[in-house]
Amino acid sequence: MAYPPENLHHDEQLVLDLRPHWWTYTPSLLALIAAVAFGVWVLIATDSDAMRIIAALAVLVCLVWFVARYVQWATTELVLTTDRLIYRSGVIAKSGIEIPIDRINTIFFNQRIWERLVGVGDLTVESASATGAQEFMNMKRPARIQNEIYIQKEELEHRRRRRAAAPLSAEEGSGDDVADRIMQLNELRAAGAISEDEYQTKKAELLNRM
């Protein structure tokens, strides 16, 4: 199921809406297929009740394992928007996290050799939020996700810089709007996006319009 558009903020756009890689439930699926094959062989090749009970239990255990893993896959979602990185999982007992794009510091991904062949890997996001480092397991094409997050960080910074530098409209001449603009300029200065001289010049222009 796609991420609900009504959950997006004003002017926020959906960039990526992903589920974990199908490898999440593949081992349990293979085990179920093997258990069913074993059960069929037992029915055909032997009349032993004990073997049939063992085969039935094997099929039941593998079926429960597969259903549990599939439900976990189906209810886990990693969403990237122009403002946030959102993670949701669970059906009854749900858990989730939202990380503002501008608070993300570093993104790592890890892939073993065989994982590169099937396009699966683990993604670690380090942020300035209270959660610190957050790991997302078995994600599809983690390098693509890493690259897209960095792109959205840059786009967000550019949008803020353009808005902070844009002239105030008649509707935006209040003290609160000017204070917001100055705060955005201060964030850009702290991030190294603008120099101290640029900050002071633009700040003076904004204050003169109050």
Which residues share a beta bridge with 104?
127
Above 90 in pLDDT, residue 28?
yes
Least reliable range by pLDDT among 10-14, 15-19, 77-81, 166-170: 166-170
- Element containing residue 128 per DSSP (H, E): none
Residue 118: pLDDT band with limits 50, 70, 90: confident
Which residues share a beta bridge with 95?
89
Least reliable range by pLDDT among 25-39, 69-83, 152-166, 190-204: 190-204
- Nearest by Cα to 139 from 117, 107, 115: 115
Per-residue confidence (pLDDT) for residue 53, from 0 to 100: 94
Per-residue confidence (pLDDT) for residue 171, from 0 to 100: 46
- In sign, the C-alpha dihedral spanning 37, 43, 46, 47 is positive
CA-based angle 16:86:73, to the nearest 5? 75
Per-residue confidence (pLDDT) for residue 170, from 0 to 100: 47
DSSP state of 8: S
Above 70 in pLDDT, residue 173?
no
Query: Which CATH number is associated with domain 5-20+76-154?
Result: 2.30.29.30
- pTM exceeds 0.85, yes or no: no
CA distance 96 to 34: 35
For 9-103, where are the E strands, in sequence order? 14-18, 77-81, 84-89, 95-100
**Burial of 55 (C-beta count, 10 Å sphere; 0-12/13-18/19+):** buried
Query: pLDDT by residue (tens digit) across 126-137?
Result: 887 666 788 888
| Residue boundaries of the structural domains of the chain | 5-20+76-154, 27-72, 166-208
Do the beta carbons of residue 125 and residue 145 sit within 8 Å?
Answer: no
- Element containing residue 33 per DSSP (H, E): helix 26-45
- Give the mean pLDDT of the chain: 83
Which residues share a beta bridge with 107?
125
Per-residue confidence (pLDDT) for residue 34, from 0 to 100: 96
Query: pLDDT by residue (tens digit) across 57-94?
Result: 999 999 999 999 999 999 999 999 999 999 988 877 67
Average pLDDT on 148-175 reads: 72
